[in-house]
Amino acid sequence: MCDTFILLKYIRDNNIKKITVNLDIDIEVDDEDNKDHDIAPHKDNYYSMLCFKDLRMFAPHVVTEIYLSKKIENPRYIDALKYTTNMFCKNKEMYKYYSQLKTAASVSSEHIGQHFPNLFYIKFHKRGTTGDAIDAPIFIKDKYDKGITFGTFDLFHYGHNNILSRCKNFCNYLYIGLSSDELNERKGKISIDKYEKRKEVIEKVCYGDEIFKEESLELKNDYVLQTGAEILMMGDDWLGEFDWISCDVLYMERTPNISTTLLKTIRKIMPS
Ligand code: C2G
C-alpha cells in the first residue's frame, strides 16, 4: 500500500466502516457491497475528496475519524478536515503542525466558527509507522479492551475530568496510575491534596475501573505489562515522551486555560 493516504471511519447502517483514500491513486473500501456505490474508486484526487464530501452529505456527522499518513499540503484536502470529528496524526511533527494550524485558525477572524477536528498523535506499537499500520483494525472495529493513563490529578479540575472521560471512551477497562506523594516530591511538584484525597476524588468521577499507585516514572512500562494495557493515553504536554512504551500510545490535546498550577496561584492570591 502506498504510504500516502487518509483513513476515514464512518457509520452506515449502524455499522462502523472504513475507507482508505489513497491520495495518489484511488479509494479502497473495506467491504464488497460498498465498492460500486457512492464511494467507487476514482483516478483523480479531487474526485476522491468529492466522494468524501458526498458521503458527508448523505449522512451528516457520521465521519468520525480520519487518520493521516502525511501532512496535507493541498488546500483541496484541507477541506476534508472540516468533515470529521477526530483526526489522528502519524508522528509528533505532524501533530505539532496541525496543532499550530488549529491555534492560528482559532484566533483568526477569517476562521471564526470554523470546525477543526480533535487532534491526536498515535504511536502504534510494533506495527511501525508506515502505511501498513493503519490496516490494523484498532480504531476501526471496537474500542481497545484495556487502557491506562497516569497523572497527579492534584486540585482536580475540569481538564482532568475531560481527559479521563476521553480515555474511557477509547477503552472498555481503564487503569489510572495515580502518582504517589513521594513521586511528586521527587519531581519537585509537591501536591496540595495528598494521595488518599486525590484517589477519593478520582473514584467519585467514576471513569477509572482500577486506580493504582504510580511510584516511579521509570516503571511505566512495567505497569503497562502488569495490567495488560493495550493503549497508554496522555495529554499532549507529554507529546512523544512515552513512544518507547510497549503498547500503543495516544496523545491528546490538553484542555486549554486550566491547570493545577493556575489553581495553586489563585489559592496563593486568594487564600480561603
Ligand atoms: N491535563 C489535561 N488538561 C489540562 C490539565 C491536565 O488534559 N488542562 C492532563 C495532562 O496532560 C495529563 C493528565 O491530565 O495527561 C494529568 O495531569 P497532571 O495531574 O498534571 O499529571 P502529570 O504531572 O502530567 O502526570 O506519569 C505521569 C505523572 O504521573 C504525572
Q: What is the pLDDT of residues 203-249, one digit of tens each?
A: 999 899 999 999 999 999 999 999 999 999 999 999 999 999 999 99
Q: Is the pLDDT of residue 133 over 90?
A: no
State the DSSP code for 18: E
Per-residue pLDDT averaged across 109-118, rounded?
Answer: 69
Edge-first strand listing for the sheet containing 63-68: 27-29, 15-22, 5-12, 63-68, 86-89, 118-123, 248-252, 231-235, 144-151, 171-179, 210-214
pLDDT of residue 268: 86
Going from the C-alpha of 107 to that of each of 34, 102, 171, 254, the distances in angstroms are 40, 9, 33, 18
For the chain, percent of residues with pLDDT exceeding 90: 43
**How many CB atoms sit inside 10 A of residue 112's CB?**
9
Rg (CA), the chain: 20
Distance 188 CA to ligand 1 centre (A): 15
230 Cα: distance to centroid of ligand 1 (angstroms) = 20
pLDDT band with cut points at 50, 70 and 90 for residue 117? confident
pLDDT given at position 102: 82
Identify the band that residue 52 occupies on the pLDDT scale cut at 50, 70 and 90: low
Tens of pLDDT, residue by residue over 57-107, are 544 445 566 776 667 666 555 666 666 778 888 789 989 988 988 887 776
Grid cell, residue 103, equals 491555534
Q: Would residue 168 show up in a list of annotated catalytic residues for this protein?
A: no
* Max CA pair span of the chain: 67
Flag whether pLDDT at 145 surpasses 50. yes
Which of the listed residues 95, 148, 153, 163 should we mutate to test ligand 1's pocket, taking the one with most ligand atoms within 8 A of CB? 163
Q: What is the mean pLDDT of residues 158-184?
A: 96
Among 70, 71, 189, 213, the one annotated catalytic: 189
- For residue 220, give the ligand 1 atom closest to its CA: 26
Mean pLDDT value across residues 127-138: 44
Answer yes or no: is pLDDT of 130 > 80: no
Q: Which atom of ligand 1 is nearest to the CA of 178?
A: 29
143 in catalytic set: no
Atom of ligand 1 nearest to the CA of 214: 29
- Give the distance (Å) from ligand 1 centre to CA of residue 150: 7
Q: Do 148 and 175 touch, CB atoms closer than 8 A?
A: yes
Of 209, 235, 236, 212, the closest CA to residue 222 belongs to 212
Mean pLDDT of 166-195: 94
Amino acid 134: pLDDT: 44
> Where does ligand 1 bind, in terms of residues with CB under 6 Å?
150-154, 159-160, 163, 179, 214, 217, 234-235, 237, 254-255, 258-260
Per-residue HEC secondary structure of 136-190 comes to CCCCCCCCEEEEEEEECCCCCCHHHHHHHHHHHHHEEEEEEEEECHHHHHHCCCC
CB 13 within 8 A of CB 37: no
Range with the largest mean pLDDT of 109-118, 150-159, 259-268: 150-159
Ligand 1 atom index nearest CA of 150 = 29
The verdict on pTM exceeding 0.75 is yes
**Ligand 1: centre distance to CA 153 (Å):** 7
Is the pLDDT reported for residue 43 higher than 60? no
Cα-to-centroid distance, 52 and ligand 1 (Å):
36
The residue to mutate among 213, 237, 249, having the most atoms of ligand 1 within 8 angstroms of its beta carbon, is: 237
Average pLDDT, the chain: 77
What residue's CA is closest to ligand 1, atom 10? 235
Give CA separation, 38 vs 21, 120, 137, 159, 227, in Å. 13, 29, 23, 40, 44
For residue 192, pLDDT beyond 70: yes
Q: Give the cell for residue 216.
A: 516511579
Nearest-CA residue for atom 7 of ligand 1: 254
Of 14 and 86, which is predicted with more confidence? 86
Greater confidence (149 vs 51) lies with 149
